[in-house]
Amino acid sequence: MAIKYRFKSFWSNAARNMLCLTAAASFAVPASAADWPLKAPPAIPDLTWQGITVIGAIDVSGQYEANGAPYKGIIYGPASLIAPQNRTPEWLFAPNQSLQSFIGLKVEEHLAPDLDFIARAEMGFNPTSGSIADALKSLQNNNGIALNQQDFNGDGGRQGQILNGEAWVGIASKTFGTEHFGRNNTVLLDMLGAYDPLASYGFSLLAFNGTFVGQGSSETTRIDNSIKYLNNWGPFRVEAMYGNPNTNAKDIYQAAFGFVMPQFSVDVFAGQVHDGLSVGSLSSALPGALGSPFLGARVFDSKTYGVMAKYVFPVGGTGPLNTPNSKFIVTGGFSYLDLSNPADGGRQPGFTTSGGYEIGPALSLNGSSGFGVVNYTYTGGDRVVDTSFITGKYQYDDRFSFTLGYYRYDGNSYGHGVNSIPGVSASSFSNVYCSSAAFTNCAGSEQAVSFRADYQYTKNLMFYAGLTYSEVAGGMAFGYLKTYTYDPTVGIRFTF
């Protein structure tokens, strides 16, 4: 009954808050190009010289958060889905809700028949503050601050580097495939981009919470010192990656194999991570935490496998609800993730992760990464997380589209042996199976439903408006100040 009431309250409150935003969107997103009061600006040509192209994007929006947190413009975007710090209504000028803003270069230089030199380098930034995107800095700034006084912060794969996105060089051959050497997105991040039309911080749970794409942590969504291989043979494709950064992970292996047809595609994938890190702020209960340069971390090994698929239904015809080119696209996927204690014993205080941040300042003796480094989280039982999602996208024509998505994480009750470790006394860990929010290792779930309407005004300029509802329950709600939020958003995106 409580869930039923909450959803009813959500939709009634959402309707009221969307009213003003929808009215504003009616001016920003016209019914047709002919109704637009201003002439569309010309498309910007590719900014290319000698095979080098400047690329980039700027994404800004207005957002209301029913249960949000203050945003300081350091991490990529605000708390557009539920997070531990969310607690109060917020009206925000929000960046990066449909796409991470970035500036970069890509290179394509022909070397020989069937052989090209390629490269890509990106810097993600926050256009509302002008700062380089830095998830770990947002965590560090909240060290020693009580949760109910924190601004929004979280772990992530961009850690303040000048090149915090992709940064690789490679070669491309139609016969032998493509290789990237350097800093690469994970294969799972590529899979999400290929199959989730809402993949973004503001509208996709799997992009906002990187447990899936980072194979256990948002920290490991991008991997330094890695090599990626891609190739196609007719309808078959393969993508594989190996990385040995010895920072946010000791090493990582991921691969995907796909079958692609004009109306249908499917990819199966698998991966393994050793000594991955899930990083967090230091607790206000830890002496010396306030202003500390250190960050807490859970260390894990993980393995995963899963599948994603897409089907396109041509629905073109005559009438007000479709055009000759209208189509409906259904996508979805499922993955299994197993998190276990690091086989080599894990990491020690003072170890440096991506971006030059150190974890510590000591080994935690209470199971909480807020007190330092934890290498034993899964003693007495691995953590298993099932990830599932489904989306439906109606592409009206080459400009208008409407997308609805549902996302879900489901976790088991794990780590029942943590309190049996000599010297460890972890009151936040249950010794037996549980499914409440009373302990961090109880079974739990996190889910989100999102809707977004897009209008591609020109090649470079897109308007969007949408709404996301998210909630946590059971062990996944442990320590949260609020368990749900809904967030209507209206924005604009410029790409070149």
Average pLDDT for 61-82: 97
Helix residue ranges, H only, 159-300: 187-195, 205-208
Q: Count Cα neighbours of 252 within 13 Å in the Cβ-side half-sphere.
A: 36
Per-residue model confidence (pLDDT) at position 5: 37
* Lowest model confidence (mean pLDDT) among 36-40, 281-285, 319-323, 403-407: 36-40
| CB-based contact 278:298 (threshold 8 Å) | yes
Average pLDDT for 107-132: 97
**Structure tokens that stand for 95 in this block:** 């960046």
Number of H helices, E strands in the chain: 4, 21
Q: Which residues contact 288 (CB under 8 A, 6 or more apart)?
A: 144, 361
- pLDDT tens string 81-90: 999 999 999 9
Average pLDDT for 377-400: 97
Summary mean pLDDT of the chain: 92
Q: Which residues contact 32 (CB under 8 A, 6 or more apart)?
A: none
Residue 321: pLDDT band with limits 50, 70, 90: confident
* Lowest model confidence (mean pLDDT) among 29-33, 46-50, 200-204, 492-496: 29-33
Highest mean pLDDT, choosing among 10-14, 157-161, 314-318:
157-161
Class of domain 2-495: mainly beta
Residue 296: pLDDT band with limits 50, 70, 90: very high
- pLDDT tens string 128-152: 999 999 999 999 999 999 999 999 9
Distance CA 402, CA 327 (A): 11
Per-residue model confidence (pLDDT) at position 39: 60
Per-residue model confidence (pLDDT) at position 38: 53
Per-residue model confidence (pLDDT) at position 322: 81
Q: What is the DSSP letter of 134?
A: B
- pLDDT tens string 176-202: 999 999 999 999 999 999 999 999 999
Q: Which residue has the tokens 């249950």?
A: 430
Helix residue ranges, H only, 179-254: 187-195, 205-208
CA distances in angstroms from 19 to 14, 22, 63, 168, 277, listed in the order given: 8, 5, 13, 45, 42
- pLDDT tens string 6-39: 434 444 444 444 334 333 333 333 333 334 445 6
Average pLDDT for 248-267: 97
Q: Outline where DSSP puts E strands in 29-166.
A: 47-49, 52-68, 88-95, 102-112, 115-126, 131-132
| CB-based contact 85:152 (threshold 8 Å) | yes
Per-residue model confidence (pLDDT) at position 43: 74
pLDDT surpasses 70 at 118? yes
Domain boundaries, the chain: 2-495
pLDDT surpasses 50 at 4? no
CA 111 to chain centre: 36
pLDDT surpasses 70 at 429? yes
Nearest to 333 by CA among 290, 304, 374, 295: 304
Share of the chain above pLDDT 90, in %: 88
